[in-house]
Amino acid sequence: MTYFGDLQAAGRSASPRVYYFVIVCLLSYIILDFVLHHSGTSQCADLVFDAAKAKAERAERRSDAIDAMKEDLICGSVIGHLNSGPKLPVAKAWNQMKWIGAPARCKVKGHLIESLDEMNNFRRGFALKFVGDVEDKTMILPWLYGSKVDLNKRARRVYLDLGANDFHTSVQWFSRMYPCDFTEVHAFEVTPGLFRIPKPGFNEDTNWSPENPHSIRVKQQPQVPDWMVDRIKLYNTYVSDADGDNAINITKFIKQELKLTADDAVVVKMDIEGAEWPILQRWLLDPEMAEIIDELFVEIHYRHNTMLDFHWGQFSHSREEATRLIASLRAKGYFIHAWP
């Protein structure tokens, strides 16, 4: 054998011993480290560290609690809910094409809600000409209470449309778009013949078509299905704060006639040409109504030069009062949006 051959053989036979040595060293290190860090002195060091950390955490919690308390105080008042969004100059509004609305500073019922956009008469989409009509409600979609809380878990799910106009105006919108399968729809429209409940007789099941090369899966354009029609009840009366000539006291109707409670899902849309003022002022002072109504959509009518084209000159309250009313209702726990 050559000198190098001997050395190689020695290396091969020595290598397992080297491995054992390395393993023993590592094990010793682990054991030593374990013993050292669980001895009295190191525990003391841990305690010192913990105390400092805990103190810092306590301070942080205290300042969080103070912040939360300040926020509670602010958000329990009208001021917190007023002027709650970033003010966007009207001239720069075109810059906000993808704007879906900033959240308000204060939450309502623990959930974010859109900031009030008084400057655009609460109709940003219309003011920016995203839509030619006010009947586009996409700006409300991210803020629906029904998409934050599962209202479908409630046994009774009621939609009240006060000032329903045509079937397609809002009853259809809420039936299709609102994330709740309403078991009752109560539609109030005083103008006779304006609101027509769609004709029953459309069957969703028989309208189904097998897969085909046209990718169309129904035989005819769907109509309003029977089950939906059956749930709609129409009232040809005025919605009011007091019972009267062809007018019903809506508060009494909700509490005594429908017997709605906080356990039910209740969504209310209101567009009643100024009659909303006394009703909402009453609800402001009625904590029971704030519990019963889960979400409220209201067109509040006011007098402002920018709304004269819409014949709003007849109304007496100012736009500032309207904004304050919405903010006040939010402070009382009403999840309220300007409609449309």
Ligand X SMILES: *[C@@H]1O[C@H](CO)[C@@H](O)[C@H](O)[C@H]1NC(C)=O
**Shortest distance, CB of residue 54 to ligand X, whole angstroms?**
53
C-alpha to C-alpha distances, 114 to 34, 217, 236, nearest whole angstrom: 56, 38, 33
- Answer yes or no: are the C-beta atoms of 106 and 75 closer than 8 Å: yes
**Shortest distance, CB of residue 255 to ligand X, whole angstroms?**
6
Taking the least distance from each CB to ligand X, the nearer of 82 and 250 is: 250
Write the CB contacts of 324 (distance below 8 Å, at least 6 apart in sequence).
78, 82
The burial class, CB within 10 Å (0-12 / 13-18 / 19+), for 31 is exposed
Taking the least distance from each CB to ligand X, the nearer of 241 and 271 is: 241
**Shortest distance, CB of residue 151 to ligand X, whole angstroms?**
24
Number of residues that bind ligand X (CB under 6 A): 6
Taking the least distance from each CB to ligand X, the nearer of 241 and 264 is: 241
Cis ω on the peptide bond leading into residue 340 (within 30° of 0)?
yes
- Counting Cα atoms < 13 Å in the Cβ hemisphere of 219 gives 9
Asked if 251 touches ligand X (CB under 6 A), the answer is: yes
**Shortest distance, CB of residue 266 to ligand X, whole angstroms?**
15
Distance of CA 156 to the CA centre of its chain: 20
Taking the least distance from each CB to ligand X, the nearer of 255 and 317 is: 255
- Counting Cα atoms < 13 Å in the Cβ hemisphere of 218 gives 9
**Shortest distance, CB of residue 248 to ligand X, whole angstroms?**
9
Among 22, 24, 90, 242, binds ligand X (CB under 6 A): 242
Asked if 84 touches ligand X (CB under 6 A), the answer is: no
Phi-psi region of 330 (alpha: psi -120 to 50; beta: other; left: phi over 0): alpha
Taking the least distance from each CB to ligand X, the nearer of 114 and 241 is: 241
Taking the least distance from each CB to ligand X, the nearer of 185 and 289 is: 289
- Piece of the chain touching ligand X by CB under 6 A; list 52-60, 203-211, 246-254, 262-270: 246-254
**Shortest distance, CB of residue 282 to ligand X, whole angstroms?**
7
Among 249, 269, 326, 332, binds ligand X (CB under 6 A): 249
* Cβ neighbours, 10 Å, residue 105: 17
Report the DSSP beta bridge partners of residue 146. none
Separation of alpha carbons 309 and 68, rounded Å: 44
Helical H runs in the chain?
3-37, 40-75, 78-81, 124-127, 172-177, 226-230, 250-252, 276-284, 287-292, 319-331
Among 117, 241, 264, 299, binds ligand X (CB under 6 A): 241
- Piece of the chain touching ligand X by CB under 6 A; list 121-129, 158-166, 177-185, 244-252: 244-252
- Contact positions with ligand X (CB under 6 A) in 252-271: 252, 255
**Shortest distance, CB of residue 293 to ligand X, whole angstroms?**
14
- Piece of the chain touching ligand X by CB under 6 A; list 184-192, 231-239, 251-259, 327-335: 251-259
In the complex, the residues that contact ligand X under the rule CB under 6 A are: 241-242, 249, 251-252, 255
